[in-house]
Amino acid sequence: MNHNRVVCFDLEMCCWNENGVGTTGEIIEVGLAEIDLGKGEIVKRAQYYVKPEQDEISMFCVELTGITPRKIEKQGRPLADVIQSMIKNFGGSKKIYASWGRDDLILAKECRAKGIDMPFKEFINLATLYRIQHRLKEKRIGHRAAQEHVGIEWEGRQHSAYVDAHNLAKLALKIL
């Protein structure tokens, strides 16, 4: 296990908003940003689009994420292929992965449903770590608000897994 490297990741899923209720479906984007804790820097980034097997991308999803059906048609790959690329380019069970919230559970559920092995075993929920560090026992805080609270400017469009993973890596360098 390489404890000096952490792979921050974020997922975007098919999503709908019906009568004010948001629901999500299959993963359509995985963003990753690897940090080197010794050097204190982001050393690698990647973005993968995933072709959903059953879900379709709604207009609500396009507006929220900027991911269009055309982009997925041209650049999307099956989740199994994306997982193989993640393992090849970022390492699998020899690395610690981290997200803001429980994206690991979302990925695990979809991997199980599709007969794919999880790409990692070690996981850190940075939202929980942040709440512990800042004594926010009952209060939830979003990734962007937490980042701005510690004086790190947000860069790029929110709800892009690539952008969100990069911003999360900047925050992780501060709190890990």
Q: Kindly report the number of other CB atoms within 10 A of residue 77's CB atom.
A: 15
Which tokens in the block code for residue 85?
């690329």
Which pair of structure tokens corresponds to residue 35? Answer: 């940090």
Beta carbons within 8 Å of 81's beta carbon, 6+ residues apart:
none
Q: How confident is the model at residue 139 (pLDDT cuts 50, 70, 90)?
A: confident
The reported pLDDT for the residue numbered 85 is 98
User: How long a stretch of residues is the chain?
Assistant: 176
Model pLDDT, residue 1: 81
Quickly tell me which residue has 């804790």 as its tokens.
Answer: 37
What is the spatial order of strands in the sheet that 41-49 belongs to?
41-49, 21-36, 5-18, 96-99, 122-125
Share of the chain above pLDDT 90, in %: 90
Q: Which two tokens stand for residue 88?
A: 């090849």
Q: Could you tell me the pTM of the whole model?
A: 0.95
Q: Average pLDDT in the 70-85 region?
A: 98
Closest to 74 (Cα-Cα) out of 55, 51, 57, 53: 51
